[in-house]
A and B are shown apart, each in its own frame.
Chain A
Amino acid sequence: MEVVNNLKNRLEEFRKLHGLTQEELAEKLKVSRQTIGSLENGRYNPSILLAFKIANLFGVSIEEIFIYEGENDNDDEK
């Protein structure tokens, strides 16, 4: 039984709001473009450090970008 943490984010929205491409955002955060893509798709949850970096870059709090929606068991979804 695997516990899945539901963490949604508004990264794509904030990125587009600031007129940045994935490459540009990746360059500013010093991560790969694939990481930005995975974050936007919700496949990957960032470390707390990266979350802070992203929030600082956009000048907002972490909670405004990352929304924690609790956890659920993977088996229950089947």
Chain B
Amino acid sequence: MMMKNKLLNNCLFELLGMTLFLIGVILMKNNAEKYIYGLFIGLGLGIFIIFARKIEASVVWKKYPDIKQHLEIEINDERNTIIRDKAGFKTNLIMNYLLLVLTIMFAFMGVSVYVVLSMVALIITQGVLFIIFSNQYEQKL
């Protein structure tokens, strides 16, 4: 029952994605503003692809339940979880430095102030998110 509901949900989102995409195409044909039809097409395609994959996965899992079980074990495996966490942490650390260096470079290269400010906002958001999640886990664990 729950599985059927999930499939129905995914199909509805798939329809939504298609509808948004079609609206985008119609707007494009009617010479609407580029950013409006671009938004519709992008959003529509994004939703369509994400939920197409979900539907595909649920169909495959129904046919081959052993694959689903194997996949679930691989995802929930504690060693794999630690590997993911450690790899993610190191990647995040390197990306922080790269983002910082890129922001400074852009500032000195005279790139638009809005671009530089957006990047600074990203760095600040990262710091704020780190504090929020740290506090959350501090209370949870």
A71 CB to nearest chain B CB (Å): 19
Interface string of A20-53 (1 = CB under 8 A from B): 0000001000111011001000001011011000
Interface string of B67-83 (1 = CB under 8 A from A): 00000011011111000
Considering the chains assembled together, what is the distance between the CA atoms of A46 and B82 in angstroms?
A: 11
Shortest Cβ distance from B81 into A: residue: A47
Q: Which residues of A contact B74 (CB under 8 A)?
A: 32
- Whether the Cβ atoms of B79 and A38 lie closer than 8 Å is yes
B64 CB to nearest chain A CB (Å): 16
A40 CB to nearest chain B CB (Å): 12
Shortest Cβ distance from B80 into A: residue: A32
Considering the chains assembled together, what is the distance between the CA atoms of A26 and B73 in angstroms?
A: 9
Shortest Cβ distance from B78 into A: residue: A47
- Whether the Cβ atoms of B73 and A50 lie closer than 8 Å is no
Which residues does A use to contact B, with CB under 8 Å? 26, 30-32, 34-35, 38, 44, 46-47, 49-50
14 contacts between A and B (CB under 8 A): A30-B73, A31-B73, A31-B77, A32-B73, A32-B74, A32-B77, A32-B80, A34-B77, A34-B79, A35-B77, A35-B78, A38-B79, A44-B79, A46-B78
Which residues does B use to contact A, with CB under 8 Å? 73-74, 76-80
